[in-house]
Structure 1
């Protein structure tokens, strides 16, 4: 069976020329494949530039029409997808929307103390965010110095220690912390959480007092403060985690009862999160174990974003429609080649396999590893993570 990889590799002019023992001619700037253009026996161009443009536009229209048909299918499918849960990560533990047979139900199921516990746990980050620009831009002599990128630090610590503009925002933040500390008892938090928050706030106010008095700070002194409060921050994290688990699982059980087990087994879930929290996302971890385990790998979709979306439902429908129709198309369009079908169903660009194959490497920057198009071997294929996974599947089978 002819593989897509074989067709592409065999069609390259450089590869063919090398196999025949002839040096390939330099490609022209217009992409015709020669430096002088194709000519007739009389030495005149075989086609005029206008005819060539018309021909190329006709070829481009094939793809344009395909994309139009693909978009029409996606738009129609997007409105039918059901049941689906759309999750947007928020400071309050997440907004959850159930989309089912044209209806929407939106809830924020996580108890309030999730947000409160995290709020106080963020105190050290709040202080650091004020002081960061005014740090020395040289890597400090701290235990984890090897993990700090010198250029990254230079970019962050742009203002330097000679600038004392930090005093005003730090004083303002101290006022915020003091107010929270004075009103903490009235918040009626669980005792262990209240005690933890009290300790963090007291230590933070004390650290800011000393910093304002000295009109100086460094990462070493900040590390002393953050190390003192870290065990209590872990306490807050325990309370926040318990709140999120109980809130999300309770809501999912309500929706499962509402839908029935048959519909629940076909549930789609799209989770939006900021890129920096998209791996081992909180909501995804909890939701995953509540879904049909036979379908969770294909029906739980994590989508990293740069910012909170203004219309997460529309974006979820669009993304999920693309995924669902590609899953079906993969097995229909490439029914004769399971490997290519698997690639189309996943996040891999179909052409990436061939690029790795042509380079003969796994994308390393070592020029010695690159052997050229004609010399490309199975090294690129073997280095490809997708192919490694496929090999593992065949071995386990």
Structure 2
């Protein structure tokens, strides 16, 4: 594929010859060379080279800096409460600090969501008069209910999920869960199995019946969420205290924590909330980095360190490149694009259209 610069280089190599209708354009004055139509393109190519070399040098700095970062803790949000990796003095140590109670409590609480995931494509696109009807986006419902209620193909998958739920219910007593968590989990599983039995027997379900089933479980799901939160807090706090002793009090303020999560859990992420309380208060806002991703990366630690290297080197560059203006310096140091404020300023200008027209040369001139 021809790149822009290859095109510019090829166009510049045409030299002074320009063809119109197969004939060479004559010079304005006989015996004198005409204007070089490739000169502008070649000049622009040399200007593009400034940015190419800048990016090359920037990338070289980042690659070297990645090897020297530390101390850093990389947190991968996962179904087990988070995988924590400490990078310190060139060594790495990884651990899942949260007990299994976290995953067990959430697993049972997910039962209504599991049922919904099977039934959603077969919902009617008609939104009934539900208490939260105004919060349902009609277009979203239309996209999720892409099959509709005209078939019972959901029966097989729903019965298969019921078998999974029934097995969990039978074994619940031997899982040695805390008594309150065991009781709420039993009620969630019993209600889920009851809803499935009723729906399979009627060969029918709808939003109203599902909401009636799920709404009755609000309190029990809350108990499971509370148990999961307690397990996560205790596990993360214990690990952070141990790693703080290892890093040492003098180096602790310089610790960076990079938390990777998918976008849907990136705001008020549970690991970020717990960790922030344990960082040096003066550095917590700048040294805790929430990094949303489209999906969990293949190498989370490298992705975290690569992004952190950009942040660290930009923190220094911002103050040196923009020593007299804090606005662009703050933009370069943070997630804001450097052009954002100027674009907002120009878009807010009521005379922007007239100014643009005034800057545009008259086509006839």
Normalised by the size of structure 2, how large is the TM-score? 0.87
- 1:195 is matched with 183
- 2:36 is matched with 48
Among 197, 204, 208, the alignment partner of 1:216 is 204
- 1:148 is matched with 136
1:89 is aligned to 2:77? yes
- 2:313 is matched with 325
Whether the 8 Å CA contact 2:311–2:333 is kept in 1: the answer is yes
Secondary structure, aligned partner of 2:38: helix
Return closer, same or farther for 1:265/1:141 CA change in 2, 3 Å cut-off.
Answer: same
Among 302, 309, 314, the alignment partner of 2:290 is 302
Once the two structures are TM-superposed, the CA of residue 189 in structure 1 deviates from its matched residue by 0.6
Secondary structure, aligned partner of 1:208: helix
- 1:263 is matched with 251
Once the two structures are TM-superposed, the CA of residue 308 in structure 1 deviates from its matched residue by 1.4
Normalised by the size of structure 1, how large is the TM-score? 0.80
Instruction: State how many pairs are aligned.
Output: 330
- 1:372 is matched with 352
Return closer, same or farther for 1:343/1:46 CA change in 2, 3 Å cut-off.
Answer: farther
Once the two structures are TM-superposed, the CA of residue 163 in structure 1 deviates from its matched residue by 1.8
- 2:331 is matched with 343
- 1:230 is matched with 218
- 4+ residue stretches of structure 1 with deviation over 6 A? 43-46
Q: What is the RMSD computed on CA atoms of the aligned residues?
A: 2.0
Return closer, same or farther for 1:50/1:181 CA change in 2, 3 Å cut-off.
Answer: same
- 1:185 is matched with 173
- 1:128 is matched with 116
Once the two structures are TM-superposed, the CA of residue 373 in structure 1 deviates from its matched residue by 4.9
1:355 is aligned to 2:335? no
Instruction: Work out the CA distance in 2 between the residues paired with 1:45 and 1:77.
Output: 52
Which protein shows a greater Rg? 2
Deviation track 1:312-345 (CA, whole Å, cap 9, x = no partner) reads 1111110000001101100001101122211111
Whether the 8 Å CA contact 1:330–1:341 is kept in 2: the answer is yes
List runs of 5+ in structure 2 lacking aligned partners.
Answer: 1-26, 357-365
Instruction: Work out the CA distance in 2 between the residues paired with 1:49 and 1:375.
Output: 29
Return closer, same or farther for 1:45/1:170 CA change in 2, 3 Å cut-off.
Answer: farther
1:168 is aligned to 2:169? no
Whether the 8 Å CA contact 2:28–2:34 is kept in 1: the answer is no
List runs of 5+ in structure 1 lacking aligned partners.
Answer: 1-40, 362-369, 377-397
Among 89, 98, 104, the alignment partner of 1:110 is 98
